[in-house]
Structure 1
Amino acid sequence: MTRLRGSWTAAAAVTMLLLSACAQQTAAGAPSTAPSPDASSAPPAGADDALVLRVSSAGGFVPPSAIVGRLPQTSVYADGRVIFEGPVPAVYPGPALPNVQWGTISPATLQQLIDKAVAAGVKQGTDFGQPGVADAPTTEVTVQTAAGKQTAAAVALREARPDDPQLTKAQQQARAKLSTFIDELSELTAKLTTSAPEGYQPEILAAIVQPYTEPEGQPGRPLTMDWPGPALPGEKLSPNLELTCVAVTGAQLDAVLGAAKNATANTPWVWASKSWSVQLRPLLPEETGCTDLKAAR
């Protein structure tokens, strides 16, 4: 389980707010509201890792490794943590590590996000239609409410024209409302990035592995680097794909993170005299290993 250092007081305030809004949704447990909790009110393991809101993508015309290693755009947790993808430099090849950042929001802001998500159509029954766009990803939004987990999925939300003729007026309006909510969430993360940027430090790093092949159109072979993590190639992610995975923790995690600072997305990593392409994917608080990536779509 991946954790970030934070204030128990903030975690307690947000969780109690969720309890009042979410009635009996207490399966994950609730921290105490007291600034210095005693043993009887100490939060159970994982209470601060309860996922409240997430925006992510699924599918699309991208390589299998990109689908497996894709990070959610934004994840919001019960203790007020917001984990999101930060700005990426416009260079090729890109850095080996994604720019994952995090910040915290107040209980009031968290409740506003929940309310706005539901108002934007994140609930069962909302019809976003099927626009006339091929091979586009599906934007998925989930939110935990008093009625339980609510979801919304809109195909080609960003790629389709707002007035796509294959969409009804009601579907166009539903997609516009969902887009507006996601834009507001993006503005929030942008403020977190500019006001107090914090790099996300995972406790577990997934390495998605495949045999190295020379990228097309690249002038010369990139410099190789010795792989300082667990033995490659690791466990199979899918019987139909030549993708494997290893989970990196402890001292090896520090070594891989250090080496990745001098690597790119195209760096050949050498293990046991063989070269491998390795995509580094920080695991999020509720993720525990490579198994969590097998369900990626």
Structure 2
Amino acid sequence: MTRTRGLLTAAAVPLIMMAGCARSGEAGSAPAAEPIAESAPANPVVLVRIAQQGGFVPANFAYGRLPEITVYSDGRVISNGPVPLSYPGPALPNLLVSRITPARAQQWADDAVKAGVKSGADLGTPGVTDIPDTVLTATSQGKTETVRVNALRQARPDDPYLTAEQRAARKKLAAYADELTGFADSVSSPAPDVYRPLGVVALVEAYVAGDVEQPEKAWPGPALPGEELNAGTGLHCVAVTGAEKDTILAAAGAANQLTPWTSGGKQWKVTFRPLLPDETGGCAALKGAR
């Protein structure tokens, strides 16, 4: 049998990012709430996280992408908000934080385990390629379970590479994931706030001019390109916190994904990755990204 090649190519990434972040309501609209500063607890507990890993994507996207949704034990729910349907897109992701009760947050984690989030579970490998894995993590009764599912939503219902049991398990997990992300997409009361991180990482690479000429901006932070993130990625990393982080976020708010940033007499491409409450250690928090 011939495996079908997936359509997730580097050229499609900007469109996929914009589509994946869209919510119900006016296209490209953003919440009216003012940004708020998030004070992370000493040891924030991730109760549920749904993220994408792998796939045929460029390095800056693989290391810079954010989870679809993260639920914390204190009731914070951090998810991707809507972004303008334009190209190039804004430099900064639109992260939103909603708040539910800790009891409801824990129930979601318990439900995740019931839905099949269990370490070591075999969900099979469908007959598609270049599609990211959906990674679901849940902490229930003091134990953390993680399951990795390739092409969770893209596999055909009758995929011959999957057993009937695997197809059924995938359907159950997909229904749970859709329910959870559906909450983030539809929550309106109270309205979510704009998530303001305690730290942000700049993923830096050499700038290559494209077909759409962009005005350059002077980099307002530590000298670029910074330390190499991982050998062979072509990416360097600079992490900032405090007032310097606020300066960089303000500058990035007036930039887009293709803005050339100047530092040390050179132009650089920068991908901005806000750090979540459980992500500590600056650049080290992203070294294991896939």
For the aligned pair, the TM-score class normalised by the smaller chain equals: 0.7 to 0.9
The match for 2:84 among 78, 83, 89 is 89
Cα distance between partner residues in 2 of 1:100 and 1:63: 21
**Offset of residue 231 of structure 1:** 1.0
2:236 corresponds to which residue? 244
| More displaced 10-residue stretch of structure 1: 117-126 or 263-272 | 117-126
CA RMSD of aligned residues (A): 1.8
Alignment of 1:109-128 (within 5 A): 109-128=104-123
For residue 199 of structure 1, give the secondary structure of its aligned residue in structure 2.
strand
For residue 65 of structure 1, give the secondary structure of its aligned residue in structure 2.
helix
Cα distance between partner residues in 2 of 1:4 and 1:237: 26
**Offset of residue 124 of structure 1:** 2.9
Cα distance between partner residues in 2 of 1:176 and 1:254: 43
Cα distance between partner residues in 2 of 1:192 and 1:247: 32
Counterpart contact for 2:106–2:140, Cα < 8 Å: no
Cα distance between partner residues in 2 of 1:271 and 1:193: 41
**Aligned AA (1:4):** E
**Offset of residue 193 of structure 1:** 5.4
The match for 2:75 among 63, 77, 80 is 80
Counterpart contact for 2:121–2:147, Cα < 8 Å: yes
CA 1:112 to 1:280, structure 2 compared with 1: closer, same or farther past 3 Å? same
For residue 194 of structure 2, give the secondary structure of its aligned residue in structure 1.
coil
Counterpart contact for 1:144–1:150, Cα < 8 Å: yes
CA 1:189 to 1:235, structure 2 compared with 1: closer, same or farther past 3 Å? same
Deviation string, structure 1 residues 43-84 (Cα, Å, up to 9, x no partner) = xx614x111111011100000111111111111111111111
| More displaced 10-residue stretch of structure 1: 200-209 or 140-149 | 140-149
1:41 corresponds to which residue? none
CA 1:65 to 1:162, structure 2 compared with 1: closer, same or farther past 3 Å? same
Does 2:97 correspond to 1:98? no
Number of residue pairs aligned between Structure 1 and Structure 2? 254
The structure whose residues are more often strand, as a share, is 2
Does 2:286 correspond to 1:290? no
1:134 corresponds to which residue? 129
2:164 corresponds to which residue? 169
Alignment of 1:8-19 (within 5 A): none
2:42 corresponds to which residue? 46
**Offset of residue 233 of structure 1:** 0.5
Cα distance between partner residues in 2 of 1:207 and 1:182: 29
For residue 280 of structure 1, give the secondary structure of its aligned residue in structure 2.
strand
Structure-1-length-normalised TM-score: 0.81
**Aligned AA (1:281):** R
The match for 2:264 among 262, 265, 272 is 272
Cα distance between partner residues in 1 of 2:227 and 2:39: 31
Counterpart contact for 2:47–2:106, Cα < 8 Å: no
For residue 207 of structure 1, give the secondary structure of its aligned residue in structure 2.
strand
Deviation string, structure 1 residues 7-32 (Cα, Å, up to 9, x no partner) = xxxxxxxxxxxxxxxxxxxxxxxxxx
CA 1:194 to 1:165, structure 2 compared with 1: closer, same or farther past 3 Å? farther
User: Please, which runs of 5 or more residues in structure 1 have no aligned partner?
Assistant: 7-44
Structure-2-length-normalised TM-score: 0.83
**Offset of residue 115 of structure 1:** 2.2
Does 2:151 correspond to 1:156? yes
**Aligned AA (1:224):** E
Larger gyration radius, structure 1 or structure 2: 1
Does 2:60 correspond to 1:65? yes
| More displaced 10-residue stretch of structure 1: 173-182 or 141-150 | 141-150
Counterpart contact for 1:126–1:174, Cα < 8 Å: no
Deviation string, structure 1 residues 166-225 (Cα, Å, up to 9, x no partner) = 11111111111011001111121123357412111011110000010013xx24x20111
